[in-house]
Amino acid sequence: MPVRWAFEEVGQPYNVRLVTFAEMKEPAHRALQPFGQIPTYEEGSLALFESGAIVLHIAEKHPGLLPHDPNARARAIAWMFAAKATVEPSIIESEAAEYLEGDEPWTEKRMPLIQDRIRARLKDLSRRLGDADWLDAEFSAGDLLMVLVLRRLEDTNILNEFPNLAAYVARAQGRPAYKRAYDAQHAVFTKAAVPA
């Protein structure tokens, strides 16, 4: 979804090649993505992995996701790193605890601690965003990645505890490029769910 959205924001066409879970672990895919995950990106002789790196590459190559002013550009990139390295880890930890370790005896005691870490990050982010529409003056790749990280909380009530962050996510989801990317991504899951 981050890569699709980035391409939609900059108005560039893209082709998608879907891979199965088994194919992700095959040598051909691991040559592109050493951890056997998705997404990967290929452009001529360039192969990239990690969604943040791919979004940064797209943003640097095409106007629309990084400001022209060098300082604003640097701040947008900093927000990209913050989304992936500061805000997302505790959210992923919560998902892992729920889905992978949910039957373990320690999960019940551990979840409130993880959720407190999430809330602490969201409190800082909420304070920084304040009443602004975006993390900096204009929508950027930093907002794109941050919104997708925050969307991971949609099945919880945590995001609703921070009305300005919930509004921030909703505002981003209202962007035409987001809608096109979401519809394209959703079509993949819908097609996969239809029996042959």
3-state secondary structure of 166: helix
What percent of the chain has a predicted confidence (pLDDT) above 70? 95
In this structure, what token pair is assigned to residue 37? 């995950």
Residue 12 to residue 1: CA distance in whole angstroms: 15
Q: Return the pLDDT at 47.
A: 94
For residues 171 and 85, what is the distance between their CA atoms, to the nearest angstrom? 23
Give residue 72's pLDDT. Answer: 97
pLDDT of residue 123: 98
Strand (E) positions, the chain?
40-43, 46-49
pLDDT for 193 equals 52
Q: Computed from CA positions of residues 101, 106, 111, 117, in that sequence, does the dihedral angle turn out positive or negative?
A: negative
Query: Which residues of the chain fall below pLDDT 50?
Result: 194, 196
- Dihedral sign, CA of 133, 72, 7, 3? negative
What is the pLDDT at residue 195? 52
Q: State how far the Cα of 86 lies from the Cα of 79, in Å rounded to an integer.
A: 10
Question: Residue 194 has what pLDDT?
Answer: 47
